[in-house]
Chain A
Amino acid sequence: MLTPVLSDNWDQIRSWQLASYQRSGGYEALRTALRMQPADVITAVKDSGLRGRGGAGFPTGMKWSFIPPKDAANPKPHYLVVNADESEPGTCKDIPLMLASPHTLVEGVIISSFAIRASVAFIYVRGEVLHVIRRLQQAVEEAKAAGFIGKNILGTGYDLDVVVHAGAGAYICGEETALLDSLEGRRGQPRLRPPFPAVAGLYGCPTVINNVESIASVPAIIKNGPDWFGSMGTEKSKGMTLYSLSGHVTRPGQYEAPLGITLRQLLDLAGGVREGHELKFWTPGGSSTPMLTADHLDIPLDYEGVGSVGSMLGTKALQIFDETTCVVRAVLRWTEFYKHESCGKCTPCREGTWWLVQILERLEAGKGSEEDLETLLDLSENIMGRSFCALGDGATAPITSSIQYFKDDYLAHFENGGCPFDPMASTVFATAGASA
C-alpha cells in the first residue's frame, strides 16, 4: 500500500548527514551513473516513465533529451536548476524531503547534471525555510568534501559545481521561467516561450528545470532500474510519489505510495476525516487544481485519473476540508493569495484577481446576488487561458469549481446576509476548548 523510497531513510538518526545517508545506501547510484554514458542515464530515466512531480507531469527524461548536444556548434554551458520553490497552497512534500534527506536531492542533482552535461547546478529553494536551507548548504559542502561535487568527480573527469540559492518570497518563482529570471537576479516574472529553457534558459544557455521530488527520484531509478520504478504506479503514471495530506484529517502528513492510489485509501491510512466530521471538499494537488468532493474519493490519484474528473493531479497536495468549512471563505482566501502573488506582468491576472477579490469579499459579507456568480464565472473565463502563465489559470480554479459544486454555500451567504459558518468550528483547537 505504501512504498517508502524517497522517505525510506527519514527515520534514520541524523538522516540529513552524509554518513547516515551513505549507511542507507546513498551515493551508490552516483557511482553507477558515473560509469554510464550520459545518454544512457537519460534513457534510463525516460524508460522509467518518471513524470515531473512539480505539477505538470511532463516526462522528465524527455525534458532532458531536449537539451542540444554539446559540441563545437553548441559550445554554451548547460545548467540544471532544481525548482525547490515549493509554494503552492497545500503543497508540503519537497520541504520535508530536503529537511530530512537533503542528500537524496543532492545525489539526484549530480546524476541529473551528469546526464545533461551540466557544469553548474542550482538549487533554487524558497527563502522562507531557514532550516531547510541550512541542511542543503551543509549537504552540498559534505558532498564537496567527499568528492561527489567539484573537479574530476570520483576520478571520472566530470566537473560540477552546485549552488544553493535562497529565494526571497514570491510564489510565481515556482513557474520555471520566472524562476530563471529570479535566479538571474531579476524580478520573478515569466518569460516568453519559445525559446524554451532547454534551448535558451539560464543566461540564455540550455537549461533543465526540475522539481525537487523529480530529481530526488533519479538515484532510486538508477540504482534499481527503470523497470523497478515502472513496477509501481499505473500505465501512464509510473512510480511512487509523496502524497501530502493536510487539513481535517486525523493523521496529516506525508504518505509515499504508488501513483494511482485513491483518496479513500489514503484517508483510511491517515485515520479518516477528523472524528465526528465528514469530507466536504478537497484539492488533489494544491489550490490551483479545481476542488473535488466526496464523489471523487475513488478516482485514481494519477495524472489521467484526476484529469478525467476535470481537475489536475498537481503536486498531490491533498487538502481535506470537512463540513465546518465555509467554501466562500476558503475561495476568497485563495483568491487573495493569487492577487498577492500575481507578478503583475499581464493584464488578466493582475487586474482580474484584483477584481475577483473585491467581488468575493462582498459575497462573503452577504452583499451579493446570483448575478455576481455569473460575473465571477465570466471573469474567470476571461482570465483562464488568456493570462501570460498558468498562475492566472490557477486563480480561476477554486472559483469555477466551487461554484460548480457548492453554489448553495454562496446563496446561503446572500440569504443570511453574511457567512453562516462559525470560523471556530473548523479550527484544530475547536474541540480542545480553546478560544480566540
Chain B
Amino acid sequence: MTIANNTVNPSAEVERTDLVTVTIDDLEVKVPKNTLAIRAAEQAGIQIPRFCDHPLLEPVGACRQCLVEVPDAGNGRGMPKPQASCTLAVADGMVIRTQVTSPVADKAQHGNMEFLLINHPLDCPVCDKGGECPLQNQAMSNGYGETRFHEIKRTFPKPINISAEVLLDRERCVLCARCTRFSEQIAGDPFIALIERGALQQVGIYEKEPFESYFSGNAIQICPVGALTSAAYRFRSRPFDLVSVPTVAEHDSSGAAIRADYRRGKVMRRLSGDDPEVNEEWISDRDRFAFNYATTGDRLTHPLIREDGELRPASWPEALNFAAEKLTAARGSAAVLTGGRLTLEDAYAYSKFARVALGSNDIDFRSRPHSPEEADFLAAAVAGTGLGTTFGDLERAGSILLAGFEPEEEAPTVFLRLRKGVRKNGTKVFTVASLASRGVEKLSGVVVPAAPGTEAAVLADLRSAGETGAAAKESLGADSIIIVGERLASVPGAYSAALRLALDTGAQLAWIPRRAGDRGALEAGCLPGLLPGGRLVTDPQARVDLQAAWGVDSLPGTVGKDTGEILAAAGSLQALVVAGVEIDDLPDPAAALAALEAAPFVVSFEVRNSQVTEHADVIFPVVPPAEKDGTFMNWEGRERSFPVVLQVPAAMPDVRALAALTQEMGLSLGFSTAAAAKKEYDELGRWDGDRAQEPTYQAGPALGAFDSTRLSTWRMLIDDSRSNDGEPHLVATARKPVAKISLTTSRRVGVTDGDELVVSTDAGSIRLPVVVTAMPDNVVWLPTNSADSHVRRSLHADHGSIVTIAGGNA
C-alpha cells in the first residue's frame, strides 16, 4: 500500500488557464492556482512526508509532518514559521523549500517524527502494517535513527473491537484523523470520533453504537499506521509475501477497481484500487471483505450426473455428452436462466448458446422480480446505448431523482459519489420512496413519499405529489439525472413514467441495477426480445446482421419467454439451462423450485452447491471471478475488465464450459475463452438500426386510503446473500433487521417502537422489532433478505404485495 495518491487527482476539473508558477527546491513548476504545496511538490517529483494529508479528504494540517520552509510567499516576503504543505495553497512566485533543500524543514520534520514515535509502541515485527507502513517508511526516510525519549510511554489496552470487523490499537495511532474524517466526510457515518483530549486523545466509538459503516474498511486502508486492522485479515499474512492483482469487484453494478492480494493460491485480502472515474479510492465493505464465498466448503469440484434420482460424479466428457444429447433433443423447447454473477463474456456465451445451440429466445438474466415493461424499457432506453450517465455526471448534477433505488444498499459506490456531489457541489437529491432510509438521510435527500405500487403514479404526476414532489419537479432540468432501479419492475407503468419525465424535463435517465452482471447480460442479449448490442429479436434486419456475424442460417424471430414465463412453462419445456441463479432471489421461490422439479431436464452451471444444483440432472462446476478473466460492464456502460487472480489448472469458466457443450452438440460457439468471446462481441458492435419504441404502460392509480397493508421492501447491502458466506465478521456488521411502519399504522396495530411486529401472507410470516417512522400509512417495510426477514422465501412476496400485520402478541 502506498501512503496516498502520489499524483494530482486527474479527475479534478482544473482551469488550465489559471496556472501559477512556484519554485520548489529550486525547481519551477506550473500548477493550478490554489494547489496545495504538497501536491505541487508531487508534481515536481518531491515527496514530502505526511500522515493526515489525503487527497480525497479535506485538508486538516494536524500531524505537522509535512512542514516546509517558505522563503518567499510570492509577495517577496518569507513566512516566519515553517508551513504545513498540506494546507498551504500556492501563490504565483512562491518559493518553497522542502526537507530536500531546507535544513529548517528537515529538522522540523525530524523533530515531528521524533514526537510521533515517543508514544508509539514500535511493535513493527508483530504489526500487520509492517512492511507497508507509512510511519515505518517515513521514520526511516525522515526520522532520527535514535530517540532521546527515555521516559514513560502512553499505553492503552489493545486492541479493542470498534465493530465486529474493525479493531483499534490506540497505542499505534498517530491521531491523524484520517479515519474519523473519512467516516464523517466521505461515508457520512460518524460512528468513530476523536474522544478525550490532549495526550489522551484517541479514536473511539460510543459504546452502544459500533463502527458499523458500510465503508469502514476504507478507514483501515487509509490508516497510515497499524492502528486499524480488520478481523478478517489481522495476523494472516505479511505484505511482502502477497502477490497483488488489480481486479474488479463483483458485488454490485459499479465495477469498483480493487486489488486482490493472494498468497499460495488463496486470496488473503482485497483493497480498494484507485480509479478516479469510477470508485476513486473507496469501496464498500462487501466489495472488500466478501470474497470467501467460493471457499466455504460447498464448492463444486467435478461434474455430476443424476442417475436414478441420485447425483454421481462424472468426468467432463461424460457429463458433456450426457447434457449434449438431451439438449440437442430439446432444441426449440429449451430455455436459459442466467443470474447476476456472470461476466459480459459469460452472458454473451449464454445468449449465443440459446439462439444458436438451442434455437430459442427463451432466455432471461433477471433472476428477480421483473416485468415485460422493464424488458421493453431496457431495450428502448439502455441496451446498446454505450457509456451513458457516468459517476462524474452524478457528482456534477444539479439535482438527482431516485426512483425504486436505494443507493447505499444497492450500489454503495454510487452512494459515495452522490454524497460527494451533495457535499461539494450542493447536488439536491430527491427520492420517490416509502421512507427516508439512512442512506438517503446522509444525502440530505428529500423523500417524495410513495406507497409501494404508487411510484408510477407519483412519477407520472410529480408536480401533484405533495410539496416535495413539486420541489422535485421544479428542480429537474438539463443538469438533472433520474436514476431508476430494478425495483420499479414491480410497479406497472413506473419505467414508462420515468422515461416520460426524463423527456419532459430534459434530465438524463440512468438505470442502476443491483448485480454486477446485469448490464453486461443486457448488452449480451440475455433477454427474450433482445439480441446482443441492443438488436431486437423482432427486427429482421438486426437478425440478418447477427446471422451473418455468427455464420448461421437463421435465428428465432419471435420474442421468447421471460424468467416468469419460463418457470411457469418449465413442465412443458424439454430442458432448462440455469447458470448463477439463486432460487431465493426469485419472486416466488417455492414456485421456482416446483418448476425445477417439473422440468424434464435441468442443466446447471454453478460454482457452489445451490437449490438449483439440488434439482439439476447434470451439473457443470464453473469458477468464480477470482479464477477467471472477463469483463463486468458497469451501470454506466463502462467495461471493467479484469485478469485471472488465482491461476487454477484446468479452470472452467462458463464460457469454456459452454463452448465445450456446444461442440459436443456438434455445433460451434465460435470461441472458448473470455478473450475470444469479448473480441467477437466487440466486432459485433452496437446496433445502429431501429431501436425499440419507448414503452407507454399506464401508471396504476395513486392509491389513496386503502384497507390492506402493502409491503415495501429492498435488499440491504450486507444481508443473507450467499456471496457474503465465509465472512462472519462482515455479516455481523449488518444493520439490525427491523420492520418499519407509520405512527398511525402502529396505533392501528397497537404496537410501539421496539415491539414485535408480525408480517404475514398465506405463505408464512416474519417477526421483527418494529420502528415507527415517517412513512405512508398502511405500509410496512421489511428488508428483503436479512436475518429473520426472508421476504421471498417466507412470504413469497414482493415490493407492493398485500400483507397483513399484527402485534407480536396477537
Which of these binds chain A: B39-47, B106-114, B237-245, B306-314? B106-114
Tell yes or no: B154 within 8 A of A by CB. yes
Residues of A near B149 (CB, < 8 A) are 355
A378 to B114, CA, bound (A): 12
Residues of B near A342 (CB, < 8 A) are 197-199
Which of these binds chain A: B60-68, B347-355, B489-497? B60-68
Tell yes or no: A385 within 8 A of B by CB. yes
Tell yes or no: B148 within 8 A of A by CB. yes
A343 to B198, CA, bound (A): 4
A237 to B503, CA, bound (A): 69
> Given the interface contacts A386-B81, A386-B108, does A346 sit within 8 Å of B67 by beta carbon?
no
Residues of B near A192 (CB, < 8 A) are 59-61, 87
Tell yes or no: B649 within 8 A of A by CB. no
Closest partner residue, chain A, to B195 (CB atom): A187
Min CB gap B613→A, angstroms: 56
A386 to B197, CA, bound (A): 19
Q: Are A388 and B64 in contact (CB under 8 A)?
A: yes
Q: Are B81 and A388 in contact (CB under 8 A)?
A: no
Tell yes or no: B200 within 8 A of A by CB. yes
Residues from 194 to 252 in B contacting A, C-beta threshold 8 Å:
194, 196-201
Total A-B pairs in contact (CB under 8 Å)?
94
A351 to B174, CA, bound (A): 10
Tell yes or no: B156 within 8 A of A by CB. no
A26 to B151, CA, bound (A): 57
Residues of B near A379 (CB, < 8 A) are 111
Tell yes or no: A9 within 8 A of B by CB. no
A188 to B66, CA, bound (A): 24
> Given the interface contacts A187-B194, A344-B197, does A385 sit within 8 Å of B116 by beta carbon?
no
Q: Are A347 and B115 in contact (CB under 8 A)?
A: yes
Tell yes or no: A375 within 8 A of B by CB. yes
Tell yes or no: B80 within 8 A of A by CB. yes
Min CB gap B762→A, angstroms: 52
> Given the interface contacts A170-B197, A355-B118, A386-B67, does A345 sit within 8 Å of B62 by beta carbon?
yes
Q: Are B151 and A362 in contact (CB under 8 A)?
A: yes
Residues of A near B81 (CB, < 8 A) are 385-386
Q: Are A386 and B198 in contact (CB under 8 A)?
A: no
Tell yes or no: B119 within 8 A of A by CB. yes
Min CB gap A330→B, angstroms: 21
Residues from 349 to 363 in A contacting B, C-beta threshold 8 Å:
350-355, 358-359, 362
> Given the interface contacts A355-B149, A358-B151, A386-B82, does A346 sit within 8 Å of B118 by beta carbon?
no
Tell yes or no: A277 within 8 A of B by CB. no
Residues of A near B64 (CB, < 8 A) are 346-348, 386-388
Q: Are B151 and A386 in contact (CB under 8 A)?
A: no
Min CB gap A341→B, angstroms: 7
Residues of B near A17 (CB, < 8 A) are none
Closest partner residue, chain A, to B193 (CB atom): A187
A352 to B151, CA, bound (A): 12
Q: Are B108 and A382 in contact (CB under 8 A)?
A: yes
> Given the interface contacts A192-B60, A345-B62, A362-B151, does A354 sit within 8 Å of B118 by beta carbon?
yes
Tell yes or no: A381 within 8 A of B by CB. yes
Tell yes or no: A339 within 8 A of B by CB. yes
Tell yes or no: A14 within 8 A of B by CB. no
- Of the candidates A345, A354, A381, the one whose C-beta lies within 8 Å of that of B119 is A354
> Given the interface contacts A192-B59, A388-B64, does A344 sit within 8 Å of B196 by beta carbon?
yes
- Of the candidates B115, B119, B196, B199, the one whose C-beta lies within 8 Å of that of A348 is B115
Tell yes or no: A131 within 8 A of B by CB. no
Q: Are A388 and B198 in contact (CB under 8 A)?
A: no
A428 to B289, CA, bound (A): 66
Tell yes or no: B650 within 8 A of A by CB. no
Tell yes or no: B810 within 8 A of A by CB. no
Tell yes or no: A340 within 8 A of B by CB. yes
Min CB gap A182→B, angstroms: 12
> Given the interface contacts A359-B151, A362-B151, does A382 sit within 8 Å of B199 by beta carbon?
no
Residues of B near A352 (CB, < 8 A) are 115
Tell yes or no: B175 within 8 A of A by CB. yes
Min CB gap B558→A, angstroms: 63
Closest partner residue, chain B, to A354 (CB atom): B199
Min CB gap B117→A, angstroms: 9
Q: Are A351 and B62 in contact (CB under 8 A)?
A: no
Closest partner residue, chain B, to A170 (CB atom): B197
Q: Are B151 and A339 in contact (CB under 8 A)?
A: no
B169-181 vs A: 1/0 string, CB under 8 Å? 0000011000000
A339 to B197, CA, bound (A): 10
Residues of A near B154 (CB, < 8 A) are 354
Residues of B near A385 (CB, < 8 A) are 80-82
A63 to B486, CA, bound (A): 57
Min CB gap A194→B, angstroms: 8
Residues of B near A346 (CB, < 8 A) are 61-64
Residues of A near B80 (CB, < 8 A) are 385
Tell yes or no: B12 within 8 A of A by CB. no
Residues from 60 to 116 in A contacting B, C-beta threshold 8 Å:
none
Residues of B near A378 (CB, < 8 A) are 111
Tell yes or no: B152 within 8 A of A by CB. yes
Closest partner residue, chain B, to A349 (CB atom): B198
Residues of A near B82 (CB, < 8 A) are 385-386
Min CB gap B93→A, angstroms: 18
Residues of B near A347 (CB, < 8 A) are 62-65, 112, 115-116, 174-175
- Of the candidates A344, A375, A382, A387, the one whose C-beta lies within 8 Å of that of B198 is A344
Min CB gap A192→B, angstroms: 6
Residues of B near A382 (CB, < 8 A) are 107-108, 111-112, 114-115
**B82, B112, B198 — most chain A CB neighbours (10 Å):** B198
B126-166 vs A: 1/0 string, CB under 8 Å? 00000000000000000000001101101000000000000
Residues of B near A381 (CB, < 8 A) are 111
Residues of A near B175 (CB, < 8 A) are 344-345, 347, 350
A260 to B288, CA, bound (A): 66
Q: Are A339 and B114 in contact (CB under 8 A)?
A: no
Min CB gap A186→B, angstroms: 10
B83-126 vs A: 1/0 string, CB under 8 Å? 00001000000000000000000011001101110110000000
Please list the 6 inter-chain residue pairs (A to B) with the smallest Cβ-Cβ separation, ordered nearest first. A344-B201, A382-B111, A358-B151, A385-B81, A351-B115, A342-B198
> A-contacting residues of B (Cβ < 8 Å)?
59-65, 67, 80-82, 87, 107-108, 111-112, 114-116, 118-119, 148-149, 151-152, 154, 174-175, 194, 196-201
> B-contacting residues of A (Cβ < 8 Å)?
170, 187, 192, 339-348, 350-355, 358-359, 362, 375, 378-379, 381-382, 385-388
**16 sample A-B contacts, Cβ–Cβ < 8 Å, listed by A number:** A187-B194, A187-B197, A344-B175, A345-B62, A345-B175, A346-B61, A346-B63, A347-B174, A351-B115, A351-B116, A352-B115, A355-B151, A382-B107, A382-B108, A382-B112, A386-B67
